[in-house]
Amino acid sequence: MKRAACTALSLLLIASASVAQNKPRQLKPGFNLFSKEQDVQVGKEAAAEVEKQMEIVKNDQLQAYVRKLGTRLWSQPEADKYPYEIRAVNESAINAFALPGGQMFVHTGLITAADNEGQLAGVLAHEISHVALRHGTNQVSKANLIQLPAMLAGSLAGQSIWGQLTQLGIGIGANSLLLKYSRNAERDADLLGTRILAKAGYDPVEMARFFEKLEAESGSGRGLQFFSSHPNPGNRVKAVQAEIQLLPPPRPSPETGQFAQAKEIVKKLPAPKKVPQAAPGSGQPSGDIKPSARFTEYRGGFFTVSRPENWEAFPSQDGKSVTIAPRAGIVQDQGGQVAIGAGFLVNQRDASSGRVDLRRDTDALIKEIVASNRDMKLEQSSSSRWNGEEVIITRLTSPSPLKGETEIDTVMTFARSSGLVFIIMVTPQSAERDLQPAFDTMLRSLQLPR
């Protein structure tokens, strides 16, 4: 008996030891010079700025819906009791963002793009996690070690922190440190988001599924705004599923039942009125688009190409397309859509009928590109040789999304058995000389098996 009890006890110990190893990883905010109160203050000041520049949807029912959804999520202990607030803004780009301290904005484009309430809740839970883990002010702290302590001490006297941050060059624009997260921050926001969603009764896999769907479409530019501030940490569905295994069994609760209605409201809204000036992902490039002289290899699904080290790759999930661009070259155009002002795109499309015909399929492609870009003009199109094979090079011009610039788009097309492969090199006219050598290096490095 004694012996049996002993064995049972040791089995118990083994069991609890293995549970301990598989406990959910502890997630804590990192280094930060701001206090939590200062997170709240800076978020409120920045939100007032955003409200001036974006169009808040004037529909109480829709606002009540997103608040209801938000409340279900941020009332979970993992959200760390910040004074969260959310508003829907009339914006067609698929995005949502959260400022420090819990000021959240959800684009109507996200409501349109989500397949179900779980996906919408998923993005919000991910954003809430950035707030709770204080990723925004963590990054600002790390980047401004010298100036910040004195500045934040001064703000105790009632000065606006936001005003001072803008003097440090930290805005709410394209490259704002407050909203541009690292891959590690993304991974942690997915994990904490998973815990929040599970407790609130949503299936966390929907969050990962939505991000993957968005990624798959990002070659078309639809999800670029989101991914330019939230880089894909990779293997999202798997990571979420592994995390779910470590959590107590979920307690499913009914959805609000108002998701379809919210979509209907969005459908009937007028087109966005205000031109966003400084919404995240928009505005003038605050950084440099100039490519560095150092290159690194990028492997796509069917090609490899070298990219300048300071230009990032935004691949689509299927690997069929990639946009390689400097962050400062990705901006929001006047219609609120994300546009590439400088960059190198690789993509592939099926032949219009049966086998690829280089001339016919190129003409069809160029027609499509011209039709979908306002005021784009075809300047010239001619056959050329590249590595011993025939290619077509087409030069297009259009108004650049970068202020006051004309854009030059050079399209190169290649016939492959799998379809028409095309490369688009995008540059503002004034930077053509700076970018051309990099484009040349990229073209020379391009491996495009037949």
Q: How far is the CB of 358 from Zn ion (least distance, A)?
A: 41
E strand spans, 41-138: 85-89, 96-99, 103-107
Left if phi > 0, otherwise alpha if psi is -120 to 50, otherwise beta: which for 27? Answer: beta
Candidates 107, 230, 307, 320; binder of Zn ion (CB under 5 A) is 230
Q: State the residue for tokens 């037949």.
A: 450
What is d(CA 327, CA 281) in angstroms, rounded to the nearest whole number?
Answer: 9
* Binding positions for Zn ion, 149-188, rule CB under 5 A: 181, 186
Interface region with Zn ion, contact rule CB under 5 A, candidates 192-200, 229-237, 251-259, 314-322: 229-237
Which CB sits closer to Zn ion, 74 or 181?
A: 181
Q: How far is the CB of 164 from Zn ion (least distance, A)?
A: 26
- Cβ neighbour number for residue 220 with a 10 Å cutoff: 12
What is d(CA 122, CA 119) in angstroms, rounded to the nearest whole number?
Answer: 5
Which CB sits closer to Zn ion, 173 or 193?
A: 193
Which CB sits closer to Zn ion, 181 or 422?
A: 181
CA distances from 296 to 36, 307, 344, 404 (A): 39, 5, 14, 32
CA angle 343, 348, 352 (to 5 degrees): 135
Q: How far is the CB of 75 from Zn ion (least distance, A)?
A: 21
Q: Among all residues, whose Cβ is closest to Zn ion? A: 230
Q: How far is the CB of 176 from Zn ion (least distance, A)?
A: 14
Which CB sits closer to Zn ion, 234 or 437?
A: 234
Q: How far is the CB of 185 from Zn ion (least distance, A)?
A: 7
What is d(CA 89, CA 109) in angstroms, rounded to the nearest whole number?
Answer: 9
Q: How far is the CB of 132 from Zn ion (least distance, A)?
A: 12
- Cβ neighbour number for residue 157 with a 10 Å cutoff: 6
Residues in the chain: 450
Q: How far is the CB of 114 from Zn ion (least distance, A)?
A: 16
Candidates 177, 189, 198, 342; binder of Zn ion (CB under 5 A) is 189
Q: How far is the CB of 98 from Zn ion (least distance, A)?
A: 9
Which CB sits closer to Zn ion, 240 or 424?
A: 240
What is d(CA 411, CA 393) in angstroms, rounded to the nearest whole number?
Answer: 6
Q: How far is the CB of 403 from Zn ion (least distance, A)?
A: 28
**Cβ distance 259 to 302 under 8 Å?**
no
- Cβ neighbour number for residue 350 with a 10 Å cutoff: 11
Which of 390, 400, 391 is closest to 423 using CA atoms?
Answer: 391
Residue 447 has what DSSP assignment?
B
Interface region with Zn ion, contact rule CB under 5 A, candidates 160-168, 222-230, 282-290, 433-441: 222-230
Which CB sits closer to Zn ion, 190 or 333?
A: 190
**Cβ distance 335 to 345 under 8 Å?**
no
Which CB sits closer to Zn ion, 127 or 361?
A: 127
What is d(CA 334, CA 350) in angstroms, rounded to the nearest whole number?
Answer: 31
CA distances from 25 to 13, 201, 234, 245 (A): 21, 21, 18, 12
* Binding positions for Zn ion, 51-80, rule CB under 5 A: none
Q: How far is the CB of 126 from Zn ion (least distance, A)?
A: 5
Total site size for Zn ion, rule CB under 5 A: 4
Which CB sits closer to Zn ion, 186 or 407?
A: 186
Please, what's the largest Cα pairwise distance for the chain?
A: 92
Which CB sits closer to Zn ion, 125 or 346?
A: 125
User: 425 φ, ψ to 5°?
Assistant: -105, 120
Which CB sits closer to Zn ion, 29 or 399?
A: 29
Binding site for Zn ion (CB under 5 A): 181, 186, 189, 230
